[in-house]
Amino acid sequence: MKRLFRLIFIIITILLIILFSGKIKDNESKALAQSIDVYTLLSNYYYDNFINKEINNEKHIKEYNIAENKQEIIIRNYYLKIEEENEKLKNQNIKSTKNAYLTFDDGPSDKSTKEILEILDKYNVKATFFVLGSMAEKNPETLKFIHESGHSIGNHGYSHNYKYIYSGTEKFFSDIEKCESVLKSILGDDFYTKLLRFPGGSSGNRKLEIKNEALSRGYDVVDWNALNGDAEKSNPSREYLIKRFKETHKNKKNIIILMHDTNAKETTVEVLPYIIETLINEGYTLKVLDEK
């Protein structure tokens, strides 16, 4: 009997061990499954984040490229304009000498104009000022001073409000005529100019009809084929202006240089002596536009 009990005890023990070890295994695999879940979750999380990061990166790159393209288009437009103007000048057969026309838009201003005039005087050169009627009203004495100093004065309209002036041919010319009457009221009825510079330049299909009308009304529409880039960004550095001037006037015989006469354009005044000296050294004759 004792033996039988021992045998039963051993069998029960073996059975218990088998049962128990099975449970342990079960628990182990459950724990493993759980750990896999956590791992999968974590890796999914990181993977999702990685994908999001990649998407965001790509989005940024795309946005950057679009911005860069826009910048390029703006710059390319300038170059196209320059080429077009050079072609025109070639066709007009303007003398074989090198001529440079300094032009200043958007004045007269109460501070910059005087400084520009002093520099021009120092080098004994004359320039063309495309003035705004609204600015002439504010600074009539400065306008008189430009005129009396022998510089040329052109019409740049009254308001410089693109939205208004380019919304219709009649609106454009009423703005131009308003400027004309302001100029006459300050400089006298004898004052006369047919020099006209469209705000923002005259190129583009949108302005073609107005441009043709201007030509048929006897205006001399003047754009530019070189510039110092002072309107391309706010507060441009002296280095930037010099760089743009060098780039845009290179290898051209006749150049019309666009610059701006506003109090905000301090560096324009600062680099003007350099521009004049460079042009003189390169053999250009500096002229005013109505000498054509």
The window from 14-22, 71-79, 101-109, 163-171 that contacts Zn ion (CB under 5 A) reads: 101-109
Report the residue closest to Zn ion, judged by CB.
Answer: 105
In the complex with Zn ion, which residue's Cβ is closer, 3 or 206?
206
> Is 85 an interacting residue with respect to Zn ion (CB under 5 A)?
no
The window from 38-46, 100-108, 170-178, 240-248 that contacts Zn ion (CB under 5 A) reads: 100-108
> Is 199 an interacting residue with respect to Zn ion (CB under 5 A)?
yes
In the complex with Zn ion, which residue's Cβ is closer, 265 or 287?
265
One-character DSSP codes across the chain: -HHHHHHHHHHHHHHHHHHHHHHHHHHHHHHHHHHHHHHHHHHHHHHHHHHHHHHHHHHHHHHHHHHHHHHHHHHHHHHHHHHHHHHHHHHTT--SS-EEEEEEES---SSHHHHHHHHHHHTT---EEEE-HHHHHH-HHHHHHHHHTT-EEEE--SS--HHHHTT-HHHHHHHHHHHHHHHHHHH-TT----EE--TT-S-SGGGHHHHHHHHHTT-EE---SEE--TTSSSS--HHHHHHHHHHHHTT-SEEEEEEE-STT-HHHHHHHHHHHHHHHHTTPEEE-GGG-
Please report, as residue ranges, which positions from 117 to 146 form the binding site for Zn ion (by CB under 5 A).
none
In the complex with Zn ion, which residue's Cβ is closer, 113 or 284?
113
> Is 230 an interacting residue with respect to Zn ion (CB under 5 A)?
no
Least gap, CB of 160 to Zn ion (angstroms)? 6
How many residues bind to Zn ion according to rule CB under 5 A? 3
> Is 105 an interacting residue with respect to Zn ion (CB under 5 A)?
yes
Applying CB under 5 A, among 99, 102, 103, 106 the residue interacting with Zn ion is 106
The window from 78-86, 118-126, 136-144, 198-206 that contacts Zn ion (CB under 5 A) reads: 198-206
In the complex with Zn ion, which residue's Cβ is closer, 105 or 180?
105
Least gap, CB of 56 to Zn ion (angstroms)? 40
Residues that bind Zn ion (CB under 5 A): 105-106, 199
